[in-house]
Amino acid sequence: MKFNFLAIAVLFLVIGCNQGKPKQAQEQAKDTLAIRQTTTPQQQGLTETINMVLKAYQNKDAATLNKLVNPAWGIYIVYRPGASDNFTIIDSIDFKNPEPHYYEFEDFKTTATLSYAPLPTFDCGTEKWSKNGLFCDSTANPTTLSQIADFMQTYNEAKYSEDQLQKIKNIEKSSFRVIATGEGYLSFIFQLTLLDGKWYLTLIDRAYGGCDA
């Protein structure tokens, strides 16, 4: 009898442990899901920052834009001086003194509402965008700067230090690209980067959508 009682007690103990494990795993899964949900771009102020940048750009409000520029990073300006793209880094935006100096900032207007979706593409043949509106692809990180740097170094058009290349990688891995299309071919393309819980304006692309070269 003593052995039977002991065997039954052990059996109940094993069953209880096995029943507890799935519940514990479910609780851990819920905790993990909660963490992921609270770190989505939308919940970290990305939407608000996109709308702020777009409004400031349309109003040519350099003061607001420059508040979103990280002093340690500056802001990258992508442009197309010839057949290939290039970039430069500046400290701040000045609508009266654009970069590059020969390419003035156009009057850009849109009333589109932000959509988190794949970005539109531009067709140089038709000079039209594949779709119109305001878009941010929060599922992919941009590689515009690293692609330009790789191309320039491959063809000996520029040299970048390891620190410069690492800085680009660090920026891109926590960035999202935004494209706003306006009337005809007009657009405003920029990049926001998350650092220490704050979104910064790190790039304005003034090349994509231009088919002059």
pLDDT score, position 40: 65
**What is the value of pTM for the model shown?**
0.79
- pLDDT tens string, the chain, 213 residues long: the values are 444 444 444 444 444 444 443 444 443 333 333 333 344 655 569 999 999 999 999 999 999 999 999 999 999 999 988 778 999 999 999 999 999 998 899 899 999 999 999 999 999 888 889 999 999 999 999 999 999 999 999 987 888 999 999 999 999 999 999 999 988 788 999 999 999 899 999 999 999 987 765
pLDDT score, position 213: 55
Asked if residues 78 and 205 have their Cβ atoms less than 8 Å apart, the reply is: yes
pLDDT score, position 16: 46
Query: What whole-number distance in Å separates Cα of residue 70 and Cα of residue 91?
Result: 9
pLDDT score, position 212: 65
Phi then psi dihedrals of residue 30, to 5 deg: -65, -40
The DSSP output letter for 40 is S
DSSP H helices, 157-209, are 162-172
CA-nearest of 49, 177, 185 to 108 is 185
pLDDT score, position 41: 58
